[in-house]
Amino acid sequence: MIKWRKYIVENYVKNFELKVSGNPYDHEFIIDFSFNKEEQEYLDSLFNLNEFLKSNNPLIDLMDEDQIKLVSHLINFSAIKVDVNQVKQQQTLFTCIVDYYLSLPISELSRNYFDFQNEIQHLFKNGYYVKDSDIKFMSQFKARKDSRQLQYIMFASFTLKLGEAFKIAIMMSNIRLITCLTTIKTGKHIGFFKNAERQIIEFTRNSSAHQNEVINYITKENKKEFENVKLELLEMRRNVSEVIEDSDIKEVINRVIYTK
């Protein structure tokens, strides 16, 4: 290994340990360095978050200290291997992240939503698996009524149904349609628009396939309260026969919408 690259790895680890232990550190070394395979192996041999924090559940402990940015760095930075499946009593990293975002002021939910999605997806990209305590944790939010919080709750609940980073990524790419279908299914306004009906119209405006999916769902499930939305979509759509053809998208929609 080139000497100056070895120095970077060692100082990265040294300053990371100083940071997580609350001591002064060199900010220049707490950035996303790109390490080659040899440097990665050396980093792995030096980096021990459990030892740095003297904890068996260091990521959960950091979340308990509101260190969301540091935890985000750890689960998003592929050069660092961390255990995302640690459990502390009934806490998991999933419940900690959901709890953090749902504790934000309502006014901040809209601008933080994409960060929330990315944090949850990266958990699963790092090998996270669904736990019984996650499902139990999400059940407490059934009575929530604010549409912005419901957007977070819907996404988190559906990630538990999907359980795979690949499928979660598909859901994220089609979140507008899935939000529309979930709103119709539950009768609850979900999302950041002031009006659920207007949101459905706007979210499906540029896709006849999505419009047809919504129209068919309203018809099949006899959702009379959305009849006006259906009529407007019937007038708007440009292609009567266009449907969603991607099998992966159809599987995700089936899993989160049609499967109980």
- pLDDT single digits (tens) 105-163: 999 999 999 999 999 999 999 999 999 999 999 999 988 999 999 999 999 999 999 99
| pTM score, whole prediction | 0.91
Q: Are residues 188 and 249 in the same domain?
A: yes
Q: How many domains, the chain?
A: 3
Q: Are residues 231 and 179 in the same domain?
A: yes
Q: Are residues 156 and 184 in the same domain?
A: no
The whole domain housing 3 covers: 1-47
Q: Is residue 89 part of a domain?
A: yes
Domain boundary among 107, 132, 164: 164
Q: Are residues 65 and 142 in the same domain?
A: yes
Q: Is residue 124 part of a domain?
A: yes
Q: Is residue 108 part of a domain?
A: yes
Q: Are residues 23 and 103 in the same domain?
A: no
- The tokens of 71 are what? 């935890």
Domain boundary among 145, 164, 183: 164
Taking only the tens place, the pLDDT of each residue in 54-111 is 889 999 999 998 989 889 988 887 677 889 999 999 999 999 999 999 999 999 999 9
Q: Are residues 133 and 181 in the same domain?
A: no
Q: Is residue 215 part of a domain?
A: yes
pLDDT of 81 reads 82
Domain boundary among 105, 133, 164: 164
CA–CA separation, 101 and 112 (whole Å): 8
Q: Are residues 198 and 121 in the same domain?
A: no
Q: Are residues 31 and 72 in the same domain?
A: no
Q: Are residues 206 and 139 in the same domain?
A: no
Q: Is residue 169 part of a domain?
A: no
Is pLDDT above 70 for 230? yes
Q: Are residues 100 and 147 in the same domain?
A: yes
Q: Are residues 147 and 186 in the same domain?
A: no
- Do 98 and 138 form a contact (C-beta atoms < 8 A)? yes
Taking only the tens place, the pLDDT of each residue in 189-213 is 999 999 999 999 999 999 999 999 9
Q: Are residues 182 and 101 in the same domain?
A: no
